[in-house]
Chain A
Amino acid sequence: MRIKLEARGQQSKLMSYASPILAALLTLICGAFLFWMLGKSPMQALHTFLIMPISDPYRIAELLVKAGPIVLCAMGLSICFRANIWNIGAEGQLLMGGLVGSCAALALLDSQGIWVLPLILVAGILGGMAWAAIPAFLKNYFNTNEILSTIMLNYISLNILLHGVHGPLKDPNGFNFPESALFSDWQTMPILLEGTRLHLGVSFALLAMVGVWVLMSKTFIGFQIKVLGGDERSAHFAGFKHKRLVWFCLLLCGGLAGLAGVGEVTGPIGQLVPNISPGYGYAAIIVAFLGRLHPLGILFAGLLMALLYMGGEMVQIHLDLPLAVTGVFQGMLLLFLLICDVLIGYRIIVHKSAPKIVKQSLSIEPPAVAIEGK
């Protein structure tokens, strides 16, 4: 028997939706196998990992709290990715949003009033945008590869944040713990559901979803972004302003990631701490692709990703497994998604005959080597 991949000739619409589901299933199967290898009952482990996190209202609220920042970042990333701008820097932009937002909060520590929180949020958004402006500037004027610049900036922002919490932003009355002072009630997000940590920031993710959907499917600038990503040369031919679009996409993504960051410090955390994000900005990359860069898809993928984070904590508490399980599941999910995406362009053909050396495979068809340029 011989298994062969054959080009479909046309991208399969069905597979492009089925692929994320298939990837999730394969992740489950391999995850069960992984738990079995670790000496746990696969069914019980999967139950702890996937069902327990959503078994009561409080936990569901927690899931939403975790999904909020992931979805916000992924919405921004999806716009960049649609334009073929490979922004890997949502994490850094999120951290910067948290840091700048915290600076604003600490500067306004004694202020009271309804205007304080919006001001802090705007500061956080601007922080994220400023951080995203660096790769946008480098890309536009020095043709720097944004993948490299955004990844490097992630580490830089983390270190600036660490410097802040260990230095100037440290709470003078905090017994030398690397944490800022606690924010006041005027500076933190109102709780939406009493008895949970579900805060106002989570609703921003839904607003962002609607906004991104309108932007990408209704507006001319969204159209220009899609053209730029679909075919840069056509965008140039039509006269779309490439540099402006790069600024727009990166700044918008930076703003959303910054909002996610400041939402964390003013929401569930309530102060600036060294680790305000367990890799939400990186997880958002997986979420954006898992959701097919579509706002609704991203929402569901974001919830799934939040479930993995929750599940990781559950198996740590109940089964004595390391938190790294979350990372392994994230990795498997992305890996299987990429593998399954091959099926969008190709189909699997199983030949029953015994393998034989076919002459055909040795030849190079002349059109395949055509390199004639202009």
Chain B
Amino acid sequence: MNSGSSNSRLLLDGITKSYPGCLANDNISIDVKAGSIHAILGENGAGKSTLMKIIYGVVKPDSGKLLWEGQETTINAPIDARELGIGMVFQHFSLFQTLSVVENIALGLDQRSSSDMDRLAKRIIEVSTKYGMPLEPHRLVHTLSTGERQRVEIVRCLIQDIKLLILDEPTSVLTPQEVDSLFDTLRQLADEGSSILFISHKLKEIQSLCDSATVLRAGRVSGSCVPSDESTTSMARMMVGDETQIGSEYPNAKNDMPDFLSINQLNVATTDIFGVDLKNISFAAKQGEILGIAGVAGNGQSELLSVLSGETQLEGFNIITFPDADLTQSNPMQRRACGMGFVPEDRLGHGAVPDMSLRDNALLTGFLQGLISRGFVNQSATENFSKTIIDQFDVKCGGNNSLAKSLSGGNLQKFIIGREILQTPRCLIAAHPTWGVDVGAATSIHKALIALRDQGASILIISEDIDELFTISDRICALFDGQLSPIKPTNATSIEEVGSWMAGVFGRQQAA
């Protein structure tokens, strides 16, 4: 597999980069061999992204050396990196939705190779079939699935001679089946001599794919290993340190509880040209249970959330009932008054106002908790509420006067989750509740959710992280193309089955 593995493709020596108030990379040294698949493992905020940006020339290191095939090199800009043969697939795709595949790829190339679109289209077909990622060059990007969009990003790198491919959390947007086929492609590339840097915090994937791994923690290398020689627990230890509790098993809820939140025959046509229509969705979340909704992003999750929170106005009757009241036409404030709480997908600019302090952001949805008297804001109650959130959910910030935008994604997530949980809703609807938070914090958020469930709340979790859903859900289902799969108790199904639901393999349209 590793032909010529003694040759170093990329050697980082003592890379250090600091930002004001934060040492993102501290003396990091990594050796990536030619033809190897090397994992960079670490929690959010461990410094993985900064390191990749340094390699790709987006960020300049404060000190340290970078050796490319044995030669000391400085990479000043992504164009330098591309000339060397470094390609990068970002976590958030950089594609123009209204352009076709070939146009998007041409944008990343120099003038010479992008002028002849027909030849480029042929080359795209050639490359994409060779690596088992078929693409139609003339399709518009917004008609592609997330997995196909990722292929465009990868093919864009492969179309030039690639020596090092960097993938930043590539599997978070894929179904389990798509992950397998991506791994086949990556193995094929490595066999041909390309090196691959695979950034992830999913230990099982790293074990099955990577030849070597470097673990980062708080900006430093906390260990290197051969993943196949390690257990997932030992790698997790390297990732989070000794003090943090790693995951735990949660007892399932009793399943004889009555229906609490019911959705009946929900059909919503989207107003967004890139949106997804919701088709004939019916389900009921029981009192005292966690219902998980899996699915790859862009299959109707945001539309469903917006309908449930009341941001999308519905017409009709008895489509949404909770527990017995008809909430179909009610607005978000009325739903909150009924005891519902919401955690939206986007932290900043949806769940929190970027330019407002945490105190004001606590008031944003907490105003029904006695923070308002006769139209005036009760300053001290608001102060206390925001402080309680910060304390109980261990939000790292410079006090409740910090602006929401100054917090890291994970910390803001803890704040928003805490804000909703501390209002003890009778029904909590949360998107990606542990998105971007570290393992320790994820565990405490899970515990808080379980505690809320055990108090009799109904909790609906919409997440792309199938492992998380299997950890905390009592029942699980998947959303695909705006339609809901069957719902099964978590212990009566498997990751494979839910994975196939995520890919749309269930008796669709039958329920009508």
Residues of A at the B interface (CB closer than 8 Å) are: 9-10, 218-221, 223, 226-227, 230-231, 233-234, 236-241, 358-360, 362-367, 369-374
Contact = CB atoms under 8 A, between A and B. Distances in A.
B78 A366 contact: yes
29 contacts: A10-B406, A219-B375, A223-B360, A223-B377, A226-B360, A233-B350, A234-B351, A234-B353, A237-B311, A237-B342, A237-B344, A237-B351, A238-B332, A238-B365, A239-B310, A239-B332, A239-B335, A363-B80, A365-B77, A366-B58, A366-B78, A366-B108, A367-B90, A370-B92, A370-B94, A371-B96, A371-B97, A372-B94, A374-B298
B78 A365 contact: yes
A369 B350 CA distance: 22
Interface in B290-340: 297-298, 302, 309-311, 331-336
A223 B77 CA distance: 44
A10 B354 CA distance: 12
Given A220-B376, A239-B334, A363 B77 contact: yes
A363 B58 CA distance: 10
Contact of B353 (A230, A239, A362, A366): A230
Given A221-B375, A363-B77, A233 B349 contact: yes
A234 B344 CA distance: 10
B355 A230 contact: yes
Contacts of A9: 20
A363 B80 CA distance: 9
A371 B95 contact: yes
Nearest to B60: A360
Given A227-B353, A365-B58, A370-B90, A359 B297 contact: no
A363 B79 contact: yes
CB-based closest 3 A-B pairs: A239-B332, A239-B333, A363-B79
Interface residues of B, number: 54
A237 B350 contact: yes
B32 to A, nearest CB: 20
Contacts of B80: 359, 363
Interface of B: 20, 56, 58, 76-80, 88, 90, 92-97, 107-108, 149, 274, 297-298, 302, 309-311, 331-336, 342, 344-346, 349-356, 360, 363-365, 367, 372, 375-377, 406
Contacts of B344: 237
B367 A220 contact: yes
Interface majority SS on B: helix, strand, loop or mixed?
loop
Contacts of A358: 76
Given A363-B79, A366-B58, 14 more contacts: A9-B20, A218-B376, A220-B376, A223-B363, A227-B356, A231-B355, A231-B356, A234-B349, A358-B76, A359-B80, A365-B58, A373-B274, A374-B302, A374-B345
B76 A360 contact: yes
Contacts of B353: 227, 230-231, 234
A372 B97 contact: yes
Contacts of B78: 363-366
A81 B149 CA distance: 40
Contacts of B77: 359-360, 362-363, 365
A365 B110 CA distance: 14
A359 B79 contact: yes
A238 B310 CA distance: 10
Contacts of A227: 353, 356, 360, 364
Nearest to A10: B406
Of B93, B297, B406, most buried by chain A (CB within 10 Å of CB) is: B93
A234 B93 contact: no
B94 A238 contact: no
A75 to B, nearest CB: 19
A219 B79 contact: no
B97 A234 contact: no
A152 to B, nearest CB: 29
Contacts of B298: 374
Contacts of B149: 372
A234 B95 contact: no
Given A230-B353, A372-B92, A219 B376 contact: yes
Nearest to B360: A223
A360 to B, nearest CB: 5
A341 to B, nearest CB: 15
A231 B375 contact: no
A238 B377 CA distance: 16
A236 B363 CA distance: 14
B462 to A, nearest CB: 13
B376 A230 contact: no
A369 B334 CA distance: 40
Contacts of B372: 220
Contacts of B76: 358-360
Contact of A236 (B108, B332, B354): B332
B144 to A, nearest CB: 11
B377 A367 contact: no
A366 B334 CA distance: 43
Scoring B149, B274, B342, B356 by chain A CB atoms within 10 A of each residue's CB, the highest score goes to B356
Contacts of B311: 236-237
B350 A370 contact: no
Contacts of A360: 76-77
A101 to B, nearest CB: 29
Nearest to A366: B94
Contacts of B79: 359, 362-363
Contact of A371 (B94, B336, B351, B356): B94
